């Protein structure tokens, strides 16, 4: 359960002020499937970063599963990110030196899970995302769709309650993008809250709730 109240995020560029988020209040229930759309610079990514605890709002209150997370220390926020939130990015953000399997394993390492227990979880994820025969390939040896599947596997390996995807299909062609969306929707069906930022109307329309943004404000919220 995500509850934002009067969230504001202001960036300063020299003496210019950019209100990326302006007095945003929003509630997203557990297991919802939400799309966020809006023109470039309207604050979609900033909103997602605040929800994912990557960015701290300048004012306002953010409750995640009933606790105020804006007051947590950085280390505590890192823990919340690790355990409750999964990120999927437009540009995949895989570690180039590590194989697909190792990239998927990273959150397990950070969580301190012993190697013996990690293997079975990674294997299961490789199977679930149809990556078994790519397990020992490095990102540079994978196609865009495969890379995004590795990224999704990594984002969900610790079973987060919310999956935040910032233009997950932006670097993929239409067909592959559709496949990736289907994977994300599969995770939503399994109970994960899914929030997708997209420019693609067709993909955005697949969500069950549609939030529209403009100039840092929510200008539409339809189910």
Residues near other proteins (CB under 8 A): 49, 52, 54-55, 74-75, 78-83, 85, 87, 89, 93, 95-98, 106-107, 109-112, 115, 154-155
What gap in Å lies between CA 38 and CA 61, rounded to an integer? 23
Within residues 34-53, the interface with ligand ATP by CB under 6 A covers 38, 40-46
Residue (9 or 149) nearer to ligand ATP, CB:
9
User: How many residues touch ligand ATP (CB under 6 A)?
Assistant: 12
> Which residues would be at the binding site for Mg ion (CB under 5 A)?
45
**Could you give the C-alpha distances from 86 to 41, 46, 140, 158, 212, in angstroms and in order?**
23, 16, 23, 8, 22
Please pick, from the candidates 5, 11, 110, 136, the single residue that binds ligand ATP as defined by CB under 6 A: 11
In angstroms, what is the minimal distance from the CB of 34 to Mg ion? 16
In angstroms, what is the minimal distance from the CB of 61 to ligand ATP? 20
What gap in Å lies between CA 139 and CA 103, rounded to an integer? 9
- Asked whether the beta carbons of 158 and 127 are under 8 A apart, the reply is no
Query: CB nearest ligand ATP: which residue?
Result: 45
- Kindly state whether residue 144 participates in binding ligand ATP, applying the rule CB under 6 A: no
What gap in Å lies between CA 113 and CA 140, rounded to an integer? 27
Please pick, from the candidates 1, 3, 8, 18, the single residue that binds ligand ATP as defined by CB under 6 A: 18
Residues in the site for ligand ATP, rule: CB under 6 A? 11, 13, 18, 20, 38, 40-46
């Amino acid at each position: 359960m995500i509850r934002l109240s009067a969230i504001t995020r202001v960036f300063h560029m020299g003496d210019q002020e950019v209100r990326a988020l302006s007095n945003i209040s929003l509630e997203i229930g557990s297991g919802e499937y939400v799309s966020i759309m809006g023109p470039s610079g309207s604050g979609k990514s900033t909103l997602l970063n605040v929800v994912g605890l990557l960015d701290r709002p300048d004012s306002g209150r953010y409750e995640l599963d009933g606790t105020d997370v804006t007051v947590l220390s950085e280390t505590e926020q890192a823990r919340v990110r690790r355990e409750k939130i999964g990120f999927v990015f437009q540009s995949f953000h895989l570690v180039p030196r590590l194989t697909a399997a190792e990239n998927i394993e990273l959150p397990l390492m950070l969580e301190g899970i012993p190697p013996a227990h990690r293997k079975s979880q990674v294997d299961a994820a490789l199977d679930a995302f149809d990556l078994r025969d790519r397990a020992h390939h490095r990102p540079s040896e994978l196609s865009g769709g495969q890379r995004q599947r590795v990224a999704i596997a990594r984002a969900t390996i610790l079973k987060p309650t919310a999956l935040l995807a910032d233009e997950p299909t932006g670097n993929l062609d239409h067909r592959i993008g559709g496949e990736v969306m289907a994977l994300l929707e599969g995770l939503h069906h399994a109970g994960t809250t899914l929030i997708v930022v997209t420019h693609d109307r067709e993909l955005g329309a697949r969500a069950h709730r549609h939030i529209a943004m403009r100039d840092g404000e929510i200008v539409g919220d339809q189910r």
